[in-house]
Amino acid sequence: MSKAASRVANGGAKGHAQDGGASPLSSNLRRLSLANPPPKPSAFADPSSDICPVCKSSRYLNPNMVFLVNPECYHKMCESCVERIFSHGPAPCPIAGCKRTLRRPKFRRQTFEDLKVEREVDIRRRVAKAFNKVEQDFETLRDFNDYLEVVEETTWNLILKIDVETTERRLRQFEEAQKAELNAVNPAAARRVNEPDPTVLSSTSHVVLKKGATQRKVASAVNTPDPFIEDTKTDNGFIFRGLKKPKPPPPKKVFDPFEGYGITPDYYVTQESYDVDWLTWFKDDKAHSAGGFGMKDFYDHMLCESFAGLGVFVGEEIEARENGASGDSAIGTQTAAMAAAGGAKDVDMDDVF
Amino acid sequence: MPLTEDDLYRTSTQYKYWSFTSAQLATQRETTNLQATERVKANVARQRAARARSQVESANTSDAGSGVETGGNTPLHLGAEKEVNCLTVAEEKKLVDTFCERALELGSFLKFPIDVTATGIQFLRRFYLLNSPMTYEPQTISRTAMFLAGKLNNHNVGIEKYVAKFPKVTAEQVLAPEYLLVQGLRFHFQVRHPFHGLKGGHLEMMEMARGNAAPAPHCTETREELQKAMLALPKHARGNPQPWTVEQMEKRITQAYGFADKRILKGPAQLTDAYFLYTPSQIWLAAHLLADEPLTLFYLSTKAPPTSPLHEKLLATLRACAALLSAHHTYKPDTLSAAEKEARDKLEKEQVSALIRKLKHCRDPDKMDLVKLNAAQKRDAVRADGELEESVAKRRKVQREGFEKQADDFWGPELKKEANGTK
């Protein structure tokens, strides 16, 4: 047991020592080479991953053991420890030297084997959510590239823990400024965006650990116009050159299934009711109206048929059409039939197709 | 994009494919006749040659048996080399018109509604525009056309029931030319009739007489002005304006409707080329013009003001259509005396029977038996004795057994029936 504990203490150095004492560079190169692939990272390869640093129970005794990490400090511990320590609310991290307050819902299984990668991915995800501009949002490519550089710098500041306080503050300010802008342009879209996304860790949520005075203070600050808040709002955290003003999306058109097509009668206006002897029977017939048959539709139909083609003069129009189509007469069944008929052969009906 | 009623009509197949100028109609009929004639002559000549050959052979083998096998269905009795006397274009048209009239009677005999009958008649007319009665016999085709029209117009009569109404007609005889007919119609099943239009116009005129009708979009007069103008119409064309009460006017409108419907739309409109040459709304207005000229002219002026160029053009078209309709012999049969009528009918009958006799001698021998032709086109081509060809039957049997075996391999064989009949 003591041997295992010492391995936990200096895991990294031990790993290099096991490679036969070679320099770190050569061992890295060996790992990269295709000739002898690196040993598969099995659960039993590294004993440190098998023993919970809190309760020291090992996978050997409990094969179903699951390790969890909290994105606050990325310290690994087993599920039962998490259950035991954090089930009654926020508590400090039990690993020696780490005083961060952790909460149970934030614990999760790690996605990447390397916790550094895990952390970097988390940070990148969060930064990318705040800096969501694309090239079209900028006037020139140069401006976009400058923006990308600022984004990358911010990301690396957070990853390498350089100037974390300032960077975090600026990032938060920028996020809020973005939200406010979106809200002014398109309230519906802003509402959608502002809804908390449970999958992405929020930057502000961890600040307010204890429900109480702090939260109330924040809430009141949002509600009442505070000169101090106003001041910080004018400072957007980041200022980018050549950023275009966001354009409000065009208002949504009312859905039109006919895409503008419609029948506008030229010769008649349908009335609500017509009174003729031969219609009274249908009007009074319950069987018709119960089936959803509307008399108005009937009137519309009749009147439309009354004048459909009134201004169509067949003689003229057909002649005009024939003359127009004489150049390329292979249009339409009729012309095709005529063409076939014009040839030496008869229109053989039995095998016309 | 707003569509007017005219645009709607222009989308119909009746306008796109079945509207012609009178010159086009005439050329088309000539072409059809010419082709059918050539075909009949060629086919008859071929058949005669074949028969002559077989006669020579049979004469060689057995000296007896001269002319025994000339009982074929082509005319060969008199002078073997006599040229076939084919129908002319006019005769063909006369024949088609006659069979259209008969189809009208057929419709009333079958108790079909008029729009079904009318559809059947228009099917006939369209079919015989591209085919000759010499190729396909009109009586058979008209029975099929009627049957098809019933099916397509929500008035389906089962084939068994339909056939039972005719003596000596089998279901195969009605069904055999059906696909042929449908091909001839180029699969355009909708025929636009003027009946609905007449009803719509009637409705509106009635409301106009009562002063309730909403004026047309381009009409400048109010409904009261329209009513006032309507109640002061002259009784006849070129008559003086005279006052009418609303009831009298309603009666007049109803009469005009009845006349236009029964005497024209259900008669001459079906039996002439009106459907090819004019649109349905023009046909019903022309019929109404014949029924009551002042009323129709007034009604037309509320739709297209007399000052507009459309009015004049429209009126010319309507008058031409009315002339076509009124020239038909079924228009106003009452004006003739009984004796005249009888004499005319007799003459007509003689002419028609002569034509039918002539037709019998110039039928296309290839298209004589439509039932057999139809059967030959199907997959299980049956032979004359109704049996499948032996090799085909054998192949089918082998295939079927193969399928059954596959099914048995998968599902297991059929359950054996109990030999002693226990349930």
Structure ipTM over 0.90, yes or no: no
The minimum CA-CA distance between B63 and chain A, rounded to whole Å, is 41
Long-range contacts: B344-351, Cβ < 8 Å, 24+?
B351/B94
Model pLDDT, residue A191: 58
Indicate the pLDDT class of residue B63, thresholds 50, 70 and 90: low
Instruction: Encode A171-188: b = buried (16+ Cβ within 10 Å), e = exposed.
Output: bbbbbbbbeeebeeebee
Distance from CA of B332 to the nearest CA of A (A): 24
The Cα B39–Cα B32 span in angstroms is 11
Tell me how long chain B is.
423
Neighbours of A8 (CB within 10 A): 14
DSSP conformational letter for B311:
H
> Which pLDDT does position A337 carry in this prediction?
53
pLDDT at residue A151, rounded to an integer: 93
Q: Scan for tokens 């008929």, then name that residue.
A: A341
Q: What is the DSSP string of B229-262?
A: HHTT-BSSTT--B----HHHHHHHHHHHHHHIII
Mean pLDDT over the full length of chain B: 86
> 């180029």: which residue's tokens?
B186
* Nearest CB partner across the interface for A264, out of B4, B31, B313: B4
Residue B249: CB partners within 8 Å, gap ≥ 6? Answer: B209, B230, B231
d(CA B107, CA A294): 30
Q: What gap in Å lies between CA B321 and CA B319, rounded to an integer? A: 5
Q: Which of A202, A22, A80, A81 is nearest to A130 (CA)?
A: A202
Residue of B nearest to A299 (CA): B200
Q: How far is A66 from chain B (nearest CA, A)?
A: 49
Chain B 111-150, residues with CB within 8 Å of chain A CB atoms:
130-131
Cα B95 → chain centroid = 13
Question: Out of B5, B213, B303, whose CB is closest to A304?
Answer: B5
Tokens of A155: 């990301």
Which pLDDT does position B69 carry in this prediction? Answer: 44
Cα–Cα distance, B110 to B38 (Å, whole number):
37
B74: Cα within 13 Å, side-chain hemisphere = 27
According to the model, what pLDDT value does residue A248 have? 80
Give me the helix-helix angle, B22-61 and A332-342, nearest 10°.
50
Task: Report d(CA B210, CA A8) in Å as an integer.
Answer: 104
CA distance B59 to B10: 65
Contact between B280 and A305 using a beta-carbon 8 Å cutoff: yes
Q: What are phi and psi of B200, to 5 degrees?
A: -60, -45
E strands within A12-72? 67-68
Q: Give the 3-state secondary structure of residue A294.
A: coil
Assign residue B237 a region: left if phi > 0, alpha if psi is -120 to 50, beta otherwise? beta
* Cβ-contact A307, B281 below 8 angstroms: yes
Instruction: Tell me the one-letter amino acid at B260.
Output: A
Local confidence band at B206 (pLDDT 50, 70, 90 cut-offs): very high
**DSSP state letters, A207-270:** T--SSSHHHHHHHHHHHS--HHHHHHHHS-S---TTBPPPPPPPPPPPP-TTTT-EE--SS---
| A-to-B residue pairs, Cβ atoms closer than 8 angstroms | 176
- Work out whether strand A262-263 and strand B2-3 pair parallel, antiparallel, or are unpaired: parallel
pLDDT above 90 for B320:
yes
User: Each residue of A94-130: b (16+ CB within 10 Å) or e?
Assistant: beeeeeeebebebbeebeeeeeeebbbebbeebbeeb
Say if the Cβ atoms of A302 and B197 lie within 8 Å: yes
Does B332 or A211 have the greater pLDDT score? Answer: B332
Query: CA-CA-CA-CA torsion for B204, B206, B208, B210, nearest 10 degrees?
Result: -150
Using CA atoms, how far residue A336 sits from A325, A326, A328, A352, B96, in Å, is 12, 12, 11, 11, 24
Residue B394 near residue B197 (C-beta atoms within 8 A): no
Per residue in B71-81, pLDDT (tens digit) is: 444 444 444 55
Say how far apart CA B190 and CA B152 lie, in whole Å: 8
Q: pLDDT value at position A230?
A: 39
* A240: Cα separation from own chain's centroid: 25
For every residue of B53-83, DSSP letters joined together read HHHHHHHHH-SS-TTGGG-SSS--SS-TTPP
Which of the residue ranges B37-51, B228-242, B356-370, B376-390 would you say has the lowest mean pLDDT?
B376-390
Q: Kindly report the length of chain A.
A: 353
pLDDT along chain A (353 residues), means of 10: 43 42 58 53 53 87 88 89 91 88 90 90 92 88 92 93 90 88 72 50 45 45 41 65 82 85 86 87 85 87 91 87 59 48 43 38
H/E stretch holding A149 = helix A141-159
Which residue of A lies nearest to B126 if distances are taken between CA atoms?
A: A334
Nearest beta carbon to residue A346 from set B6, B35, B192: B35
Q: What is the mean pLDDT of residues B387-402?
A: 82
**Contact state of B17 with A305 under an 8 Å Cβ cutoff:** no
Mind listing the domains of chain B with CATH numbers?
22-52+86-184 (1.10.472.10), 195-326 (no CATH)
Q: Name residue A69's beta-bridge partners.
A: A108
Count of other CB atoms within 10 angstroms of residue B186: 18
Instruction: Please identify among residues 170-189 of chain B the ones whose CB lies closer than 8 Å to any CB of chain A.
Output: 180, 183-184, 186
